[in-house]
Amino acid sequence: MRCVLSSTPILNSKWLSFSLEKKTLVCPSDDMYIRTLPTKGEVVDADSGLWNYVLHMNLLFSKIQVTLCGAWTSGAKKSDVLTLLREGGAIIHSNMKSIGIDQPIVLLCDDSDNSITPTILKQTEKKLKEHKNMEISVVGGSWLFDCISCGRVLDGKDYPPKGKKAKLLWERIYCK
């Protein structure tokens, strides 16, 4: 997963054997790559899903601003989530004050009922009032892993957070 996020291709033993046979490093053909994760959903061609990002050297979460909401003590560890986001090119903010309005914002919530604090709620509502066209998503933790598996940033409306306060904010955004 981390190789895909960092656009590092993984080659199989066929490439190694061919390179040894030629006594030089050879340019790998399409059948010499290992696709590290299966693509979720419909596979259209070899450039679908995660592999698309390796081939085109894009970072999955570039141009996405993320604020982690909650303690992230159960399930996915906070350090692991931060590592995946950073390696995927996300811009990580510790609070809503430092977030700009020019790029999409994701509030990535853990499963606790207190993941959305009164401060985050107030700051988010203020941003939404001031900038009506601002793109803000409030999502549960599975959003991150599904985005990585699908090789694209997914719509937050399919990933309601589990916490009560976070779900209320999610409903305000998506159930207008």
Number of domains, the chain: 2
Domain check: are 148 and 84 in the same one? yes
- The tens digit of pLDDT for each residue in 78-97 reads 888 998 999 888 999 987 77
Q: Is 105 within 8 Å of 136 (Cβ atoms)?
A: yes
User: In the prediction, which pLDDT does 5 show?
Assistant: 61
Looking at residue 134, what is its pLDDT?
83
Q: 51 and 97: one domain? A: no
Q: Which of 172, 176, 137 is nearest to 158 (CA)?
A: 137
Domain region containing 49: 2-56
124 and 153 fall within a common domain? yes
What's phi and psi for 169, nearest 5 deg? -65, -40
Using 50, 70 and 90 to split pLDDT, how confident is the model at 99? Answer: confident
Where do the DSSP E strands lie in 45-104? 65-69, 91-93
Q: Which of 18, 33, 56 is the last residue of a domain?
A: 56
Residues 51 and 70 in one domain: no
- 106 and 164, same structural domain? yes
Nearest to 148 by CA among 34, 37, 9, 35: 37
Same domain, yes or no: 103 and 163? yes
Same domain membership, residue 169 and residue 90: yes
- Give the chain's mean pLDDT: 80
Average confidence (pLDDT) over 153-169: 92
Q: Which pLDDT band holds residue 52 (cuts at 50, 70, 90)?
A: low
Residue 70 has pLDDT above 70, yes or no: yes
Looking at the structure, tell me whether residues 32 and 78 fall in a common domain: no
Q: Which residue has the higher pLDDT, 146 or 39?
A: 146
Q: Is 128 in the same domain as 74? A: yes
Looking at the fold, whether 45 and 7 belong to one and the same domain comes out as: yes
CATH code, domain carrying 130 = 3.40.50.10190
* The pLDDT value given to residue 63: 85
Domain edge (last residue) among 38, 56, 74: 56
Residue 72 predicted with pLDDT over 70:
yes
Long-range contacts from 56-59, C-beta under 8 angstroms, 24+ separation: 57/7, 58/7, 59/5, 59/7, 59/88, 59/89
Percent of the chain with pLDDT over 90: 24
**Domain co-membership, 91 together with 35:** no
Same structural domain, 118 and 70: yes
Q: Show which of 39, 56, 73 is a domain's final residue.
A: 56
Using the predicted structure, report yes or no on whether residue 175 has a pLDDT greater than 50. Answer: yes
The model's pTM:
0.69
